[in-house]
Structure 1
Amino acid sequence: MAAEHSLVLEAKKTMRTQIKKQLKAMSPDDMREQSSQIAQQVIASPFFQQARSVGLYITCERLREVDTMALLQAALQQGKQCFVPLVEDSQSNMALLHIDTLEDLQPAPPFGILEPSKQQRDGSDRQNALQVAGGLDLLLMPGLGFDREGGRLGRGGGYYDKMVHDLDARAQQHGWQPPWLVALAFSQQLVQQVPTSHHDRDVDVLAMPTELVRCSSRAKQHL
């Protein structure tokens, strides 16, 4: 078992290196174009249209991620509850905190990624996605590599693994539907198969520039 786990970790490490090289080779124009196409696909989708509450990451240019700004603006304009990550420590702990406007975001060290503060301007605590009545409806996720079966290769920090586990556990505890898990991917990030461990959680949908790949049986049935 330990040997198998070690092989998976090694395969993940190799794949991360390969995909990072491909991302580094992308031109800014290609990244902008694909991000725009992905945003259009997502905004027109039933899972986005029907969501009342949305968790989504804020793009880090240095990490060369799909840009989510158009998605955040669309969600805010449509009156959805929006929850944005605040990294709390290096132990895979992050909070998804509610924002009302883009002005609620400030650059945070070391990469200057926009994050919400823990408190609102009036000093009250921002609502956490783990407190939403009925549970979070949709989580838009980053990652490094993805396959058409819903396999997701993260960057190794475990932040989203932990967040998804907590969101799922809360939904199960209350008998709610868990959030739709939707990963955003440039075409360069699609691989044949992501190496996975037993604890890795597949995504429901992979949003790409030219298509929305319905990965889970739930997505195939309901979307």
Structure 2
Amino acid sequence: MIKDEIREDMRAKRRALSKDEVKIKSDEIRQRLLGVERVKQAKTICTFISAFKEPDTVEIIKELWEQDKKIVVPITDIESGTLSLSYINSMDDMEKGAYGILEPKTVRKADENNIDVILVPGLAFDRNGG
């Protein structure tokens, strides 16, 4: 019960953020993430494509491409309730998919065994990343 209240409080706080606040927070997350040694060493990174007022992963992706990283994103199959993974090479290759979230127009199947880092969206984390 308490977890549900905390979760809803966090959602309300995120919804209340202005576009400028989301951009500032996204820039802070991007700078911090790109400073992580495991990310620096990674060759292939899987990330979600941001939607709504989530941190802007598109800017993260663009910067990772500049560092010659391969990017993998999830594709949702609503009917089967499954996710698959696809490489992307450009944001121009994207279109709105399930739930209105950008997904690749053309699937370039990715093997999860070749992914070095996975960026996972979350509403709140403890100091240890849990």
TM-score after normalising by structure 2 = 0.87
Question: What amino acid is the match of 2:125?
Answer: F
Q: 1:93 to 1:12 in 2, by over 3 A?
A: farther
In structure 1, which of residues 76, 79, 98 is the aligned counterpart of residue 68 of structure 2? 79
1:189-213 per-residue CA deviation (whole Å, 9 max, x = no partner) reads xxxxxxxxxxxxxxxxxxxxxxxxx
- Alignment of 1:139 onto 2:121: no
Structure 1 position 109, deviation (Å): 4.6
User: Identity percentage over the alignment?
Assistant: 28
1:127 to partner: Cα distance: 2.3
Q: How does 1:89-100 map to 2 (within 5 A)?
A: 89=78, 92-100=81-89
Q: Which residue of 1 is the match for residue 37 of structure 2? A: 46
Alignment partners' CA distance in 1, 2:127 and 2:88:
32
Which amino acid in structure 2 is aligned with residue 18 of structure 1? D
Q: Does residue 29 in structure 1 map to residue 20 in structure 2?
A: yes
Counting matched residue pairs gives 130
Q: Provide the residue aligned with 1:191 in structure 2.
A: none
Structure 2, gaps ≥5 residues long? none
| Pick aligned residue for 1:59 from 33, 42, 50 | 50
Contact 2:77 2:98 in 1 (8 A): no
2:130 matched to 1:148? no
Contact 1:107–1:115 (CA under 8 A) maintained in structure 2: yes
Once residues 146 and 138 of structure 1 are traced to their aligned partners in structure 2, the CA distance between those partners, rounded to angstroms, is 18
Alpha carbons of structure 1 residues 79 and 142: separation in structure 2 relative to 1, 3 Å: same
Q: 1:96 to 1:51 in 2, by over 3 A?
A: same
Summarize deviations over 1:54-90 as a string: whole Å, max 9, x none.
Answer: 00111102xx211111110011122211101111126
* RMSD over aligned Cα atoms: 1.9
Distance in 2 (CA, whole Å) between partners of 1:12 and 1:27 is 25
Does residue 13 of structure 1 match 2:4? Answer: yes
SS in 2 for 1:146: coil
TM-score (norm 1): 0.53
Deviations 1:103-126 (A, max 9, x none): 221112542x1101353xxxxxx1
